[in-house]
Structure 1
Amino acid sequence: MKSKINIKAIIKLLRPKQWIKNSFVLAAIIFSGNFTKTGVFAKNIAVMLMFCIASSCVYILNDIIDVEKDRCHPKKKFRPIASGDVSVTLAVILGISLMVIVIIGTYKINPIALVIIVAYLILNILYSFKLKHIIIIDVMVITLGFVLRIECGSVVTDVSLSPWLILCTILLSLFLALNKRKSEIIELDSKSASHRKILEEYSVDLIDRMLNLVTPSILISYCLYTFSSVQSRSMMLTIPFIIYGIFRYEYLMTKNNAGGKPEDIFFKDKPFLINIVLWGLSILSIIYLTK
């Protein structure tokens, strides 16, 4: 074990690449047309930052619990705790300190938002110790985490999101979680169960059947959202971006088994990134320039 504090390893332990998931907090302010309101925008950014810190607390806890299993994994053995770059003691101190920051910081922003983030932390603590070992429940817990993110954004923005948009979030997070499980099974092959016991309960065929239900449901839900939105005719123009995004993700999953690290797809695959940017610009243009 290394005695010096390795700042680079600590940053890696926090997994900043995965903070992109917390951008779901901004869904409410963007789709409600309040993105240009400076005060509300500042609160949303602050809450998103709190979610980033809270999610890092969860990653630290997971790495502490799974340290021995990670050391047997071909890639996860290089994680800071598993490799010895960060000691368990330092990780515990860091996790507790960050949790205190989250609680105090979120309370000052919005007390109700604090309740949601505490619920997110409790949910993920239960997930780390028990729920991740229960088939289907494990991916549903991940989905609930995304719902809590957008609900937190709704609270600080003081708006209600379309039920269809919430359903899109649920289905999209299920899509990502199932593809992640599928990627782990393919990557680890016969050793998958020894690394993550829940993978013994899944199979590529079972996950494909689940995805056959979830994938078209994402598109249908998004279409229904665009049909029911105020700018329905214009919003329908964004549907092709969703179709391309789903197809591109599935292509990368099939060709490169990329579903294990969805953040890499978002940051490294140029066609996917360009599609997301164009979709985002289209949404902003339709909502804010057609008022």
Structure 2
Amino acid sequence: MESEAQKPVSKNQKLPYLMALRPRQWTKNLVVFAAPLFAFSLNLPTLLGSATAFVLFCLTSSSFYLINDIADVESDRQHPVKCQRPIAAGLVSVPVALTMAVVLLGGSLVSSWWRSPYLGATITAYAILQIAYNLRLKRMVILDICAIATGFILRALAGGAATDITLSPWFLLCTAMLALFLGIEKRKAELRLTKLKGTKPRAVLKRYSLSLLSRMENVVTTGTVLTYALWSAGPYLKGASTSWMLVTLPFVLYGVFRYQLISDPVDNIDNSLEEQENNSSERPEEVLLKDLPILVTVISWIITCFIILLCKHKGVIQ
């Protein structure tokens, strides 16, 4: 009879190790594909380069998710939701999680520098940013949101570095504005849910108020729309290679407005606390995957971009 130690590990037993990497968070790393898409340079080499950057960012980010869960394991065990995380629940041991983190981070750094010095520098900068964020920045008001935005900018730069594409300054500014917008919406959701639950807020949330975050939101929303409009205006403003990208502006407007609607406390006032937690802008990746109008908007935007790219390639438009 085969002993317990000799039995192969089932898929259900392997699942906690995968969930500890937080694969749902990997949607944030899709930003690396924006470089070839926005540059209208979609071909096999650029797609392979972007895919490489995507995998490396997934490995790097997951290594820090593991490190964070190891550092917060005791507090997570006291949390009603975070206690279900694999490490806090005891499904993944701390030594194994630490080994996984070291292997993932070391592998991503070595692979990125081997692939390209620029990509290696970008991944390294992201790793340093994560260290600074977890040690200090996440507890510093305003700088915590700026750090989140910087992470998205580094993802965009990695996409350019992996594909040798020079990025438009309007594209980078638009990425920064959109990242700031998502970061502010995340803090708004956290602050509102903390007040609804009557729980003690994290240190950084004590320095924020919904009125302050709303004013900040107004600034970055305007900046997001303006920078995207300037990029889509075409080569005259050193933006997209065709001014036909202005056709996609309504999708961006609707997506931003829809996200604001979801995060609006007035819209959610009649919902139960559980419903608000499940449909919260505290987790942008969840909104992208679960909110049908936003998902349809993103898909429609991508399809429209491909049609414009195809028409430009065929010489139908300039």
Equivalent of 2:122, from 104, 116, 119? 116
Are residue 47 (structure 1) and residue 53 (structure 2) matched?
yes
Are residue 15 (structure 1) and residue 6 (structure 2) matched?
no
The alpha-carbon distance between structure 1 residues 33 and 153, as it changes in their structure 2 partners (threshold 3 A), is: same
Equivalent of 1:24, from 21, 28, 31? 31
- C-alpha deviation, 1:85, in angstroms: 2.1
Q: Distance in 1 between matches of 2:63 and 2:286?
A: 21
- Give the secondary-structure state (helix, strand or coil) at the position aligned to 1:17: helix
Q: Distance in 1 between matches of 2:178 and 2:38?
A: 17
The alpha-carbon distance between structure 1 residues 250 and 116, as it changes in their structure 2 partners (threshold 3 A), is: same
Q: How does 1:90-109 map to 2 (within 5 A)?
A: 90-109=96-115
Q: Distance in 1 between matches of 2:188 and 2:61?
A: 23
Contact 1:184 1:192 in 2 (8 A): no
Contact 2:40 2:241 in 1 (8 A): no
Residue identity matched to 2:103: S
Are residue 208 (structure 1) and residue 214 (structure 2) matched?
yes
Structure label with greater radius of gyration: 2
Q: How does 1:241-256 map to 2 (within 5 A)?
A: 241-254=251-264, 255=268, 256=276
Contact 1:192 1:199 in 2 (8 A): no
1:191 match: 199
Residue identity matched to 1:129: L
1:217-254 superposed Cα distances (whole Å, 9 cap, x missing partner) = 2111111111133311x211111101110111111112
Q: How does 1:134-145 map to 2 (within 5 A)?
A: 134-145=140-151
- Give the secondary-structure state (helix, strand or coil) at the position aligned to 1:86: coil
**Unmatched tracts of structure 2, length 5 or more:** 1-8, 235-239, 269-275, 314-318
1:287 match: 309
Are residue 167 (structure 1) and residue 173 (structure 2) matched?
yes
- Using the TM superposition, name which of 6-15 and 93-102 deviates more: 6-15
- Give the secondary-structure state (helix, strand or coil) at the position aligned to 1:81: coil
2:134 match: 128
1:231 match: 242
Contact 1:235 1:286 in 2 (8 A): yes
Are residue 179 (structure 1) and residue 189 (structure 2) matched?
no
- TM-score (norm: length of structure 2): 0.85
Q: Distance in 2 between matches of 1:123 and 1:112?
A: 16
1:174-198 superposed Cα distances (whole Å, 9 cap, x missing partner) = 11111111111122224242xx221
1:100-133 superposed Cα distances (whole Å, 9 cap, x missing partner) = 2212322332122111101101110111111111
RMSD over equivalenced CA pairs, Å: 1.9
- Give the secondary-structure state (helix, strand or coil) at the position aligned to 1:71: helix
1:44-98 superposed Cα distances (whole Å, 9 cap, x missing partner) = 2111111111110121122222233333433222222222222222211110011
- C-alpha deviation, 1:7, in angstroms: 1.9
- TM-score (norm: length of structure 1): 0.92
- The count of residues paired between Structure 1 and Structure 2 equals 285
- Using the TM superposition, name which of 56-65 and 45-54 deviates more: 56-65
Contact 1:171 1:217 in 2 (8 A): yes
Contact 1:226 1:235 in 2 (8 A): yes
Residue identity matched to 1:280: I
1:1-27 superposed Cα distances (whole Å, 9 cap, x missing partner) = xxx994212211111111111111111
Residue identity matched to 2:253: I
- Using the TM superposition, name which of 27-36 and 139-148 deviates more: 27-36
Q: Distance in 2 between matches of 1:249 and 1:77?
A: 29
Higher relative contact order (CA 8 A, sep 6+): 1
> If each structure's helix is expressed as a fraction of its own residues, which one has the higher value?
1
Contact 2:52 2:162 in 1 (8 A): no
Q: Distance in 2 between matches of 1:111 and 1:141?
A: 23
Residue identity matched to 1:25: V
Contact 1:179 1:259 in 2 (8 A): yes
Contact 2:181 2:220 in 1 (8 A): yes
- Give the secondary-structure state (helix, strand or coil) at the position aligned to 2:188: helix
The alpha-carbon distance between structure 1 residues 65 and 78, as it changes in their structure 2 partners (threshold 3 A), is: same
